[in-house]
């Protein structure tokens, strides 16, 4: 159990509206590409499965994200609520990035999240697949950082 922490609203139990807000907050944080900032949304003992990698704790999350964003350049992410119940949220997402050789990819995935009573994520299970794309197939063209409010979401883009 997490103690002496500041709450990260919205807090569980999640209704559809609060879950959508929580998903957008996570998307916004990840689009900063700031590992230390992103890690604050997770419990100090958070456990992850990301693809085939198992990660524990904020330090592990920060190290993982530093490696990820050193490799996945010009990263832009869109998340969308799939389902929610009590302290759990299921999300689908897609992000675009390129490697240091200029090869572009769109990664598609699903995440299952579980939160503690303070609104911190204690479990994150992510399944992700990468699809090579041509630069002209990219759909995410906003400046690095937060996705603009008027930019289409996954469903609007047909993803």
Look at residue 98 and give its three-state secondary structure: strand
Residue 4's pLDDT is what? 66
Residue 6's pLDDT is what? 84
Residue 2's pLDDT is what? 45
* Averaged pLDDT of the chain: 96
Token couple for 13: 């139990």
Token couple for 2: 């997490």
Return the CATH number of 16-157, one of 3.10.450.50, 1.10.10.410, 3.40.190.10, 3.40.50.150.
3.10.450.50
Mean pLDDT of 110-120: 98
Mean pLDDT of 65-87: 98
Assign 3-class secondary structure to 12-77: CCCCHHHHHHHHHHHHHHHHHCCHHHHHCCEEEEEEEEECCEEEEHHHHHHHHHHHHHHHCEEEEE
**Does the model's pTM come out above 0.75?**
yes
In the chain, where are the structural domains located? Answer: 16-157
Residue 3's pLDDT is what? 53
């Amino acid at each position: 159990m997490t103690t002496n922490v500041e709450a990260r609203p919205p807090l569980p139990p999640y209704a559809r509206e609060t879950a959508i807000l929580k998903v957008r907050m996570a998307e916004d944080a990840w689009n900063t590409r700031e590992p230390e900032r992103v890690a604050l949304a997770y419990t100090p003992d958070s456990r992850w499965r990301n693809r085939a990698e198992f990660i524990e704790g904020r330090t592990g999350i920060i190290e993982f994200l530093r490696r990820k964003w050193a490799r996945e350049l010009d990263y832009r992410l869109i998340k969308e609520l799939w389902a929610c119940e009590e302290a759990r949220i299921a999300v689908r997402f897609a992000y675009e990035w390129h490697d240091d050789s200029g090869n572009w990819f769109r990664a598609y995935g699903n995440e299952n999240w579980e939160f503690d009573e303070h609104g911190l994520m204690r479990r994150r299970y992510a399944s992700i697949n990468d699809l090579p794309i041509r630069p002209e197939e990219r759909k995410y063209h906003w400046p690095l950082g937060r996705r603009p409010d008027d930019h289409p979401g996954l469903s609007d883009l047909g993803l």
